Amino acid sequence: MSRRSIDPARLLRRISTLGEIGRDAEGRLVRLAASDSEKLGRDQFVAWLEEAGLEVAVDHIGNIFGIWNGAGGEEKPIMIGSHIDTVINAGIYDGCYGVLAGLEVIQTLKDEGFEPSRPIVVAAFTNEEGVRYAPDMMGSLVYSGGLDVAAALKTLGTDGTLLGDELARIGYAGTHAPGFMTPHAYVELHIEQGPVLEREGLSVGAVENLQGISWQRVTIDGDANHAGTTPISMRRDAGYAAARVIAFLRDRAKSSNTPTVATVGCIAFEPNAINVIPSRATFTVDLRDPDEDRLKEEEAALAAFLELLSAEEKVGISAERLARFEPVKFDSAIVRLIEAAAGDRGLACRRMTSGAGHDAQMIARIAPSAMIFVPSRSGISHNPKEFTTDVDLIAGANILLDVVCGLATGELPE
């Protein structure tokens, strides 16, 4: 395995610089997809690509690629990367670390005169977070053929804008068709966004699979009535029915010996008055499990409970599917390569499941893929308190460097 090393100061400086781009008047980091603030981040990333001597390509959905053809320009490329759009009031590492570490790996190899057997490409995918435009992971989904690019460009944002119009406005409606390069392999380096590695005192996670995700919106219709004069036995209380669903999901997940998780993240009552029984409750349900059969079981259990609840509480209930992604199993050879790279550098490593969605799950549709995790302090992410130590950031980038070298030279562990 290679014992090359990235330039730590260059990587950390770029992470810090990008982390200051897109601050609002309150000092919050807000780089929503295709916004003015994200344009500034994109412009900086492209400037760094050009500084590194890479060919810059942008596709129709705004995905940005820095391409190093090397000696094997006709071969399928090794692709590394992530995203640079953020949530509202974000931390500086989510997504950005993987993109900038990918650039650092290429620049290190170029500086050292490495001769890759195939092109190496760093990618920054559009709208991974899905805050302004839905669905999330849109750029990689379009790139892998899972969503028509014309339909994606017509997506209406939360602010009434169209994604295609905004990409054109900020200068990132590219000329390449999505999928113009089919990767030989894809590797994404990311902070864990969870507490497992820190809790177990480990430096590296070799991500072997990614949870399936089921998103639904549930609407419960009852009757609004006076909170003081209507006996409990005579109520059709949509709020109470919603509470029963939340408790059901929590109790079912806690009593299971599986990794299933369930979350109600959004909820709204109508008429939303302190002294009125809710006539309507609308809420979201997020179900996740790394096994497709178990995920289906959880969906079926929820559907059966909603039917029972409707009869018991005499309320109307409907459920709308918002998104559905099957679990992803990453490429076992790349996972072994990550483990071998960690071991070669004397770093403690474990195989693990990703509980969050990532661009890697989309690119896995068209190429062997895997992910590398480094620890997140207290598991915090999507929050300005998001933090990973410099030591772990550097270690993860060096693991990525070794993995890319292994993929570029064919040095794969058995």
* 176 marked as part of a ligand binding site: no
Nearest to 187 by CA among 211, 206, 213, 204: 206
Backbone angles phi, psi at 375, to 5 degrees: -65, 145
What six digits make up the tokens of 340? 């071998």
Encoded amino acid at 74, one letter: E
**Beta-bridge partner residues of 205:** 350, 373
CA distance 30 to 94: 13
> What is the three-class DSSP state of 134?
coil
Spatial contact of 138 and 126, defined as CB atoms under 8 Å apart: yes
Spatial contact of 163 and 157, defined as CB atoms under 8 Å apart: yes
Q: What is the dihedral of CA 35, 39, 42, 43, to 10 degrees?
A: 180
* 226 marked as part of a ligand binding site: no
For residue 1, what is the DSSP state?
A: -
Distances (CA, A) of 341 to 121, 190, 270, 404: 20, 16, 55, 10
Backbone angles phi, psi at 408, to 5 degrees: -75, -25
For residue 77, what is the DSSP state?
A: P
Burial class (CB in 10 A: 0-12, 13-18, 19+), 210: buried
* 129 marked as part of a ligand binding site: yes
Q: Which residues contact 6 (CB under 8 A, 6 or more apart)?
A: 101, 104, 105, 108, 394, 397, 398, 401
> What is the three-class DSSP state of 231?
coil
* 60 marked as part of a ligand binding site: no
* 190 marked as part of a ligand binding site: yes
**CA diameter of the chain:** 81
Residue with the two structure tokens 């915090």: 380
Annotated binding site for Zn(2+): 83, 94, 129, 190, 382
Annotated binding site: 83, 94, 129, 190, 382
